[in-house]
């Protein structure tokens, strides 16, 4: 992730999400159109550490606003800062994060599929779009967030042990 000369500033989760989607639209309009088509009129609750936001599109504009955990949404995702940084670095795959219990998602199957499609679009674009890389660098330097524990290092799930652990957590073991 390229370093930036901009001073570090504090941003809320809602501000980061809005900046992320805005940058995506400015630099990869087709990816934003795909994202909008996948999301449609659905609402998602996103929790990162102790911040929870409700995200939805109103016409073509993304709305991200603080929300309590009991707000009704079509799907919910929850993770922490370190997992987010590991995903952005490519040091951790989404499936590994789920297997390791570092990323939680709840909702109907269709909603979950859509959530993970959106995550994949954003992660894919973040590897190519300098504005998204700059936003990631700003997130790392954000003085109102805890410093990353490590960068580019992950705890890999051990094959079937990781899968078995995930199935146990989801109460899906045979």
Per-residue pLDDT of the chain (174 residues; tens, 9 = 90+): 444 556 678 999 999 999 999 999 999 999 999 999 999 999 999 999 999 999 999 988 999 999 976 778 999 999 999 999 999 888 999 999 999 999 999 999 999 999 999 999 999 999 899 999 999 999 999 999 887 765 544 334 334 466 667 667 776 666
pTM of the model: 0.79
Does 6 fall in a domain?
A: no
User: In this structure, is residue 8 part of a structural domain?
Assistant: no
Strand partners, 53: 46, 66
Domain region containing 118: 13-168
- Report the number of distinct structural domains present in the chain: 1
Tokens encoding 104: 């939680």
Residue 146 lies in a domain: yes
CA distance linking residue 169 with residue 37, whole number of Å: 31
CATH number at residue 42: 3.30.1050.10
Asked if residues 64 and 95 have their Cβ atoms less than 8 Å apart, the reply is no
Residue 103 domain-assigned (yes or no): yes
**Does 1 reside within a domain?**
no
């Amino acid at each position: 992730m390229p370093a930036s000369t901009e001073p570090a500033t504090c941003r809320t989760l809602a501000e980061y999400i809005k900046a992320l989607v805005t940058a995506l639209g400015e630099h990869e309009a087709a990816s934003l159109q795909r994202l909008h088509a996948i999301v449609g009129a659905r609402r998602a609750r996103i929790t990162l550490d102790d911040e929870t936001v409700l995200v939805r599109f109103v016409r073509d504009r993304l709305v991200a606003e603080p929300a309590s955990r009991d707000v009704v949404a079509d799907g919910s995702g929850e993770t922490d800062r370190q997992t987010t940084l590991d995903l952005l670095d490519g040091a951790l795959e989404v499936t590994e994060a789920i297997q390791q219990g570092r990323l939680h998602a709840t909702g109907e199957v269709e909603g979950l599929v859509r959530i993970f499609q959106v995550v994949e679009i954003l992660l894919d674009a973040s590897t190519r779009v300098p504005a998204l890389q700059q936003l990631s660098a700003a997130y790392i330097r954000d003085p109102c967030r805890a410093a990353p524990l490590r960068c580019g290092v992950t705890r890999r799930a051990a094959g079937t042990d990781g899968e078995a652990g995930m199935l146990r957590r989801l109460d899906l073991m045979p």
